[in-house]
A and B are shown apart, each in its own frame.
Chain A
């Protein structure tokens, strides 16, 4: 009988048999290796300094990175050879040790760039937050794969929230907000695991509202929301004419109020909207029309949230205000706070289609790009290899992320799936924020581009993260069964 291909189970036939080599996902492993090599190439270009010593001298950053890559490959091999059950077993101790390390770091750590997030052993610095990501991912997988776990049970929700928020808070306390926010990416996993939209939708709505409140005026936001919700209701319930009448009535009322009374436009809008919300709310409850009620609740939430944000913002220190304002594009001063992003944009933007060539990037070579071999390593890709280079690197990352998700899907039991999604989510967050900041889409957060940025902690941690996913994916049915 012909073997049956299970489409969702994926490409590798005979996964349940053969040696480890046969079962390892070579695509993911290949993408991993290519990204590390591209990273070393970029670090070489970004930090080569002929004055430092011979090209093989370990004073060069790229030689150090090659050394770390060597260490990583040993670690990778060890992980791939480990039995699957160990990861399951390690989850609790790893998480606890991770939390303890974070706390210890808060007390004994050294400050780098204002964040007390590092341990220093001689010349080697280690950032525990990098490893806590792994521990948290394992912990998430452990908790969510529990046979009694249900995503939308309150007790379990709290458990998940606790697992994420505990390390997050400590990392934020270390003043390393960027690394802390990485843990927010676990929401991605929760969505896959079926968390109710009543949780993630408000969360996402709040984040969007938060960002919008800096970019647009409140009037614009509320007007947009009214129109958006009206369109939503039209799509949901039809009755176009009625909705348009409703819209027209609101705007007419605002207009009249604004002209006939000494009230400002903003006040008029707020008054009319409040009245409309109250009336509509009664109607919705009376008709038991939930599809009408939800937009009203969200709208009222926005009416409370936006002015509060404005108020909180006014309480921030001016340099914090500046940073946020710059990010959302309100303030722009080339020599000021967004200087880094400007220089980064100049480097990438001047790369054009094919770039200036290896070691030929002027902005990189002459130190115009800040942190050029660590957080801004993507500038080297952009300037020296052009759009072709950035396209390929972005595609490599996205392929790796999609591959990890696919691996998660084809693992039949939840532990592996949750873990693979966790890794995909962490990578996605890093890639989005890091590349986003180099091209002005995101504020500067100070998190590295995994696998490519210079730095031992980051490379080793990313390696462990990905290798565990590959190892879990390479498990035989027997192993899974063994897990129970």
Chain B
């Protein structure tokens, strides 16, 4: 080959090298751009971020249509420290707009970390007005997030309604719905109806640049899901009455439950002490919360649902009804009482004391005057009824009766956290006394003492059951749900007791006499209304350092009017002394307001409001706690 053609040969070879390079590049591009389809998704996930859009939480109305819980728009202020300009910003002004201290602002910025892409919550509960000022100032790196906060026009029902709080990690683990930063209802109505109240979160997709700054909606927002507002609920609670009842219980420890007998709707439910629900909203929340957890009277404890109280003399109503149904008691039967009921023989002889009253009494008067001895005879007759062969079988039958009144188990109302209470059984005593026990051993059951325990809700339910002459509807606190024709079916079912309706009139006679005919409940008399009631004075085991018992609990069951009852109430005041002293006027005032819309007995009202109870028990507990857990 000549020199010339050799050069030409190399030229052609090198041309192929160049073309080969082009083919390799184009082949790779062909693969990357047209064959490999991973990149589209990766490009989208690069630029797209999803943002949770929070819905307005559902509101709750009371039975008259006024707001118990309202939702108000507020904003969280978030920061992405990466986007804060290098030259800084007017932090003094920002702190002023957000109404926080410079310290707090600095602390939050430090927590967010320098140059972080992750949004960090600086402060919540920014009002709409403050948000407008904030938006005008355009602090780069800071932005707001829509939220709703709870508002309580009457500021009642703290521990009844519950509160809203950020989800805890265990909630997130338990339910798929939640993610960090979401809110969840805790306690009371908020938690019982959480799934309805929370609504549905929405999501919006936005385009972010490589620094995390939002650059607009992804695909013009066509993929976004709008949040759905939470469902509005109508409560059975009468806000005005609830407010009044809470006022009456101020300074007292105990519970009030009022039920509309014809429906099982809960009109009032007070667990005292309670707290102003507004304290659980806003920036002071954590401080308030901490303060509350230190309080040994436990403002957050819903006594009405959870506390176990001895029903005391109010339980005599059940005793009488069971005796009548069993046929061991007749309305005319009289039993003697010489300031008590003595049982046992010789050295083992004991007396269950009673106050002084006429003797012997018939059933109606025994109810009216709350004779202990009378009902000891009744209880003894029930469980030693020869019909059942043994006391154990008699006891078993008695337990069955008591259960039919809704005692000893949850009523299954719509709030969470109900306690079961306790009704002693044959098995219980067999275990406790190694099988060796007689009617004398268990006699305190006759008057609702001893092992008997029930919740204020169960006691109110008893009042409603008697008002209904033998049946009850499961108590509930929500009567209507927006967009639904009815509430849960179980609230429309009548639960009958094992006692037939005709026996109730006798007991109700006694309750009427107790109020209107020189009985223990005479303070509950309300002009123009046939009020029925039964007092109770319950013993307990709370003793001071010297072993001396603190004053008895004061309790009262009532319903009115006698025919077509509109309201049934149970009031329980810890350490209130005799039932007639404090529980009766409280219940009566509530009845007065509910039935007549006014309070005429202002003297009684003032007396109740100023009634001072010695809470030595709680004060000692508090002192001990404060000593063991000093504040910082």
Q: Which residues on A are within 8 Å of B, measured CB to CB?
A: 8, 188, 191-192, 194, 343, 345-353, 362-363, 365-368, 382, 386-387, 390-391, 394-395, 398, 401-402, 405, 409, 424, 428, 431-432, 435-436, 439-441
Contacts and interface: CB of A to CB of B under 8 A. Distances in A.
B25 A346 contact: no
22 contacts: A191-B14, A346-B46, A348-B39, A349-B32, A349-B33, A350-B43, A362-B43, A363-B46, A365-B215, A366-B208, A366-B210, A367-B210, A382-B29, A387-B33, A391-B26, A391-B29, A398-B22, A409-B11, A428-B18, A436-B25, A439-B32, A440-B28
Contact of B215 (A191, A349, A366, A439): A366
A394 B7 contact: no
Given A191-B10, A391-B26, 18 more contacts: A194-B7, A345-B32, A348-B29, A349-B36, A349-B39, A349-B43, A352-B33, A352-B34, A362-B43, A362-B207, A366-B208, A387-B29, A394-B29, A398-B21, A401-B18, A402-B15, A439-B25, A441-B25
A350 B29 CA distance: 11
A363 to B, nearest CB: 6
B153 to A, nearest CB: 47
B117 to A, nearest CB: 13
B223 interface: no
B608 to A, nearest CB: 69
Contacts of B166: none
B47 A366 contact: yes
B211 interface: yes
A348 B19 CA distance: 22
A405 B36 contact: no
A192 B11 CA distance: 6
B387 interface: no
Interface string B203-232: 000011111000100000000000000000
A194 B6 contact: yes
A51 to B, nearest CB: 12
B110 interface: no
B18 A348 contact: no
A230 B40 CA distance: 45
A432 B30 CA distance: 16
Interface residues of B, number: 36
A345 B29 CA distance: 10
Contacts of B44: 350
Contacts of A363: 43, 46-47
A188 B14 contact: yes
Interface of B: 6-8, 10-11, 14-15, 17-19, 21-22, 24-26, 28-30, 32-34, 36, 38-40, 42-44, 46-47, 207-211, 215
Given A192-B14, A432-B25, A390 B46 contact: no
Q: State the 10 A-B residue pairs at the shortest beta-carbon distance, nearest first.
A: A349-B39, A350-B43, A366-B209, A367-B210, A398-B22, A387-B33, A350-B39, A349-B32, A346-B42, A362-B47
Contact of B211 (A367, A387, A394, A401): A367
B85 to A, nearest CB: 14
Contact of A350 (B6, B7, B42, B215): B42
Nearest to A417: B7
Q: Quick one: which of A343, A349, A401 has the most chain B CB within 10 A?
A: A349
Contact of B210 (A352, A368, A398): A368
A394 B33 contact: no
Given A349-B32, A387-B33, A439-B32, A432 B21 contact: yes
Given A352-B33, A366-B215, A387-B30, A394 B40 contact: no
Contacts of B26: 390-391, 394
Contacts of B25: 394, 431-432, 435-436, 439, 441
B261 to A, nearest CB: 67
A349 B210 CA distance: 18
A387 B28 CA distance: 11
Contacts of A191: 10, 14
A203 B101 CA distance: 70
A353 B33 contact: yes
A441 B24 contact: yes
